[in-house]
Amino acid sequence: MNTIATHAAGPAADAFPSKARVCNCPTRCLTPADDINFLDAANPRHTEPLAPEDEPTTPTSIDHLRELLKAEFDNEGISTLCYRRLKRVRRLMQLYTPKPEDYAPYAHFRDGYYTRNLVDDGNGHFNLIVLAWAEGQGSPVHDHSGSHCFMKVLDGTLEETLYHTPADEPHGEDHDDDDEETAPLETISKTNLGAGSLAYIHDRIGLHKVHNPSNDIPSLSLHLYSPPYTLSHAYNPKTGTRSQPGQMLFHSVGGQLVKRS
Ligand SMILES: [Fe+2]
């Protein structure tokens, strides 16, 4: 499980609002009333601009994106964001145009496994992370501990394979090995994501694995996770077996490699 990346807290507890409520933003609009509306507001298939008064400033750099995201979260968890701010978070991730000088400090590759490189901890409300995928590297099938995940390809290409979560989740047994046969995971889709593409996943949508399909070109992606989390389950796609939760570690923080004893 050390191939899955890292975050900053245990399983997410506040990924969805329990009910609609008035937001503290100046327009006093409502938070999404249920997870279906929430997932729809976050869905990057919506690529049209927002209403002029809601369209966010276009981020000019990754540091600018960090500032704008923090302003949207405004020291609040994602479940407290109203529709407008939630859509602006999604839109900010769409509008950001990756530039090599932006992501170079976080592009730490290594043999064997992809790396997770923390860009910003979002004052505890989100993690912004660059994942560096050398040629052919990939993740296991995994869940997201109830958090929301936006994934933007910065460079190269990634392939995302989406699976249905086994029917007995989230109450399924965790296993230390793959001996127990159940049933293969059912594939929903397989998508090639080129540079600039944005994807979104939540456990209510399913599980996924991500890998760099190229034999000669490395890939980089920018992930926004909210709430942050540190534990994730891997799944065996042949048996549907879920592993014990694995701790996820950062390879670098703020561009500086993390020293391990
Ligand atoms: Fe993921």
| pLDDT at residue 134 in the model | 98
User: In terms of DSSP bridges, do strands 174-175 and 242-243 run parallel, antiparallel, or are they unpaired?
Assistant: parallel
Residue 175 known to bind ligand = no
Whole-number Å distance between alpha carbons of 134 and 215: 9
**Smallest Cα–Cα separation from 120: which of 140, 105, 133?**
105
Domain count, the chain: 1
Whole-number Å distance between alpha carbons of 126 and 259: 23
- Domain-embedded: residue 72: yes
- Domain-embedded: residue 13: yes
- Domain-embedded: residue 255: yes
Q: Would you say 185 and 97 are in contact if contact means Cβ atoms under 8 Å apart?
A: no
Q: How confident is the model at residue 260 (pLDDT cuts 50, 70, 90)?
A: confident
What is the Å distance from ligand 1's center to 148 Cα? Answer: 10
Residue 176 vs residue 51, higher pLDDT: 51
What is the Å distance from ligand 1's center to 29 Cα? Answer: 31
- Domain-embedded: residue 233: yes
Q: How confident is the model at residue 213 (pLDDT cuts 50, 70, 90)?
A: very high
- Domain-embedded: residue 174: no
Locate all alpha helices (DSSP H) within the chain, ordered by sequence.
35-42, 62-73, 83-95, 100-103
The answer to whether residue 7 scores a pLDDT higher than 70 is no
Q: What is the pLDDT of residues 108-127, one digit of tens each?
A: 999 999 999 999 999 999 99
115-120 β-sheet, strand order: 198-201, 148-155, 219-226, 127-133, 115-120, 252-253, 256-257
Residue 116 vs residue 84, higher pLDDT: 116
User: CATH number for the domain including 26?
Assistant: 2.60.120.10
- Domain-embedded: residue 173: no
| pLDDT at residue 135 in the model | 98
Structural domain for 140, as ranges: 1-168+179-261
